[in-house]
Homo-oligomer: A and B are copies of this chain.
Amino acid sequence: MDNKKIKNLQAGDSVQSFFLVKAADCKTTNNNKHYLDLTLVDQTGEINAKLWDHNPEEGPQYSPNSLVKVKGTTNEWQNRLQLKIEKIRMATDGDGLEIGDFVPAAPYSPEFMYTEIESYMNKIKNQDMRNIVKSIVTANKEKLLLYPAAKQNHHAVRSGLMYHIMTMLQMGEKASEVYVGLNRDLLFSGIILHDIAKTAEMNASELGIVSEYTIEGELLGHIIQGIKMIEQTAIAVGADREVSLLLQHMILSHHYEPEFGSPKRPMIPEAEILHYLDMMDARMYDMGRVLGSVEEGKLSEKVWLLNNRKLYKPSLKNEDQQ
């Protein structure tokens, strides 16, 4: 009887733990019995669970985003671990739980990452640019602290957007040491703002989970929304017109190809490199996540998000890390 984390469970374990309900589906067997099909998560992973002979119209609603306490046994069927629920109840205030402890999140605290980003904002020497960036970041601080970078793609975890920005800033700084002609003010500003309007494109819960896109997000998209934010803010802070246009152009062109949402390709080197830093960061994140569950010397399944590629995890040791 134990409080094991999901990633440590094995077939045959007895389980008595709290989980977050990520999805709950009412299903019916062919002989017309109702049961609940639940997806339970903690910060380490997720597991499918069955609550047999449960009619949700009669019993309690274990709905998404609620915390539950579960007693049951794990079994393995068709190569996947499953949890057969014996007892289940809603968590109560008395349990003293923090729901955020059950949600997959970026590996750094929101506060740490926000401070990091602030330190880069302070490195922006052009006053107009710094004003624009600070004004937009401050106005969106509350959402920034929680938002993922996407609903399903790369960095789709709580505070994932800031994590993405922070890592790109680190790479951007290093790139500017190699390509010394780059305007670091533009590069830092572009990195910080490139996806900032995702906070206006999506609705995320306080858990940093995106439930849906906003109407404006659907009708216009975060690129257009971000451009408008910059236009307004630049006017408000009285910024130089070219500064405003260059930042807008960087947002507009950062998806690079028209078919991916950028009607203009980059026309300045800082916009060009912004695109590649964005791609690199997204891919390093996604590849890392996929390879995390692959054995050495083996291939992953095809990954739809990565152009349906399989990835390979070498059995070769990384000698730098020894």
Contact = CB atoms under 8 A, between A and B. Distances in A.
Nearest to A248: B220
Interface stretch (A40-48, A152-160, A203-211, A261-269): A261-269
B31 A312 contact: no
Which residue, of A28, A32, A179, A185, has the highest number of chain B Cβ atoms within 10 A?
Answer: A179
A51 interface: no
A27 interface: yes
Given A175-B280, A309-B267, A219 B231 contact: no
Given A219-B245, A219-B249, A291 B269 contact: yes
A283 interface: yes
A224 B181 contact: no
A318 B261 CA distance: 29
A185 B314 CA distance: 13
A5 B28 CA distance: 27
Interface string A246-283: 10110010000011111111111100110010011001
A12 to B, nearest CB: 11
Given A174-B174, A288-B269, A319-B126, A310 B218 contact: yes
A243 interface: yes
A98 interface: no
A191 to B, nearest CB: 13
A268 B311 contact: yes
Interface string A140-171: 00000000000000000000000000010011
Nearest to A241: B216
A245 B215 contact: yes
Determine how many copies of this chain the complex contains: 6
B246 A316 contact: yes
A315 interface: yes
Nearest to A313: B268
Nearest to A309: B265
A183 interface: yes
A177 B175 contact: no
B224 A311 contact: no
Nearest to A287: B269
Contacts of A186: 316
A306 B265 CA distance: 10
Nearest to A285: B179
Interface in A224-245: 224, 227-228, 231-232, 240, 242-243, 245
Top-9 shortest CB links A-B: A29-B30, A174-B174, A125-B319, A219-B249, A261-B263, A183-B318, A267-B312, A258-B259, A269-B287
9 contacts: A27-B78, A174-B178, A181-B288, A215-B312, A227-B227, A258-B261, A267-B311, A269-B283, A272-B283
Interface of A: 25-33, 52, 77-78, 125-126, 167, 170-171, 174-179, 181, 183-186, 215-216, 218-221, 223-224, 227-228, 231-232, 240, 242-243, 245-246, 248-249, 252, 258-269, 272-273, 276, 279-280, 283-284, 287-288, 291, 297, 299, 306-307, 309-316, 318-320
